[in-house]
Structure 1
Amino acid sequence: MKATVLFCILLTTSAFKAFCQEEDAILGTWISIRETEKIEIYKKDNKYFGKLIWLKDSVDKDQKPLKDTHNHDASLRGRSLIGVDILNDLSFARKNIWRGGSVYDTKSGRSYNCQVALPEPSKLNIRKYYGLAIMGRTEEWKRVSN
């Protein structure tokens, strides 16, 4: 009897652990396909966010850090682009799919609906769209090895 209870506990905890690993599979550092920016995806309160941590061209002509000058909120235009969350409020939907969040485009200052897919461990597809996902555009990111 004790062996059966122990087996059930081990089975339950290992299944929960496997589910959490799948859910957190997007965590880590990623680089855009053009290799112009690096994003660190992290988890906070069961939601996923992506912070801009590196830009290939991170300074302006005066050698000052680039600012969020295109932001539609004038009070945020003075902040540095490094450290800005460009992925926001993503939720795990099912195996290799996260949705329900938004992606911020630093070049236009616009936010779009977002869906993220992980077709393989080293490749992330970011789909940004208005309205229906089918009407959007997909950008590929590659995982950065530590």
Structure 2
Amino acid sequence: MKKTCVALLLIVACAFTASAQKADAILGKWINPSGEGQVLIYKKGDKYYGKLAWMKEPNHANGNPKLDALNPDKALQSRPKLGIELLKDFTFDGDDVYEDGTIYDPKSGKTYSCKMTLKGDVLKIRGYIGISLFGRSENWARVK
């Protein structure tokens, strides 16, 4: 009986570890289709986040950093775009899908509901309002 319980615990522990490793496959740097920016996806607790880690042109011609000027929160409008947390609060659903998160678009200053689907080295990002039917998709590529 003890051997059966120990074996069962080992199977459950291995399954949990495999699931966590699969969920963490999203971690790393991703580049948007235009090549203008790279987002570093990382984990805090059991949720996934992403920040703007690289920009093709982080500064204006005068050398000053580009700011988050369109942010609806006036207090955040003076922060540089580089380093902004764009992806927030994603959970892994166990089937290559990360959901229940949001994506911030610094080009418009708007935040959208978001779902991400990982297929190898391609991350399909779907930002939407209300339901996923009303939104826009982009495919990001993993940075090697």
Mapped partners of 2:94, 2:12: distance in 1: 19
Secondary structure at the aligned position of 1:24 is classed as helix
Name 1:61's counterpart in structure 2.
61
- 2:129 maps to a residue whose letter is Y
Secondary structure at the aligned position of 1:15 is classed as helix
**Structure 2: runs of 5 or more not aligned:** none
- Give the deviation of 1:73 after TM superposition: 0.7
Mapped partners of 1:5, 1:127: distance in 2: 43
- List per-residue Cα deviations over 1:112-137 (Å, max 9, x = no partner): 1101111x220001100111101111
Mapped partners of 1:125, 1:49: distance in 2: 15
Mapped partners of 1:113, 1:141: distance in 2: 17
**Structure 1: runs of 5 or more not aligned:** none
Mapped partners of 2:130, 2:41: distance in 1: 24
Name 1:112's counterpart in structure 2.
112
Runs (4 or more) in structure 1 with deviation over 6 Å come to none
How many percent of aligned residue pairs carry the same amino acid? 39
Name 1:79's counterpart in structure 2.
79
- 1:122 maps to a residue whose letter is D
- TM-score by length of structure 2 reads 0.93
Mapped partners of 1:5, 1:138: distance in 2: 46
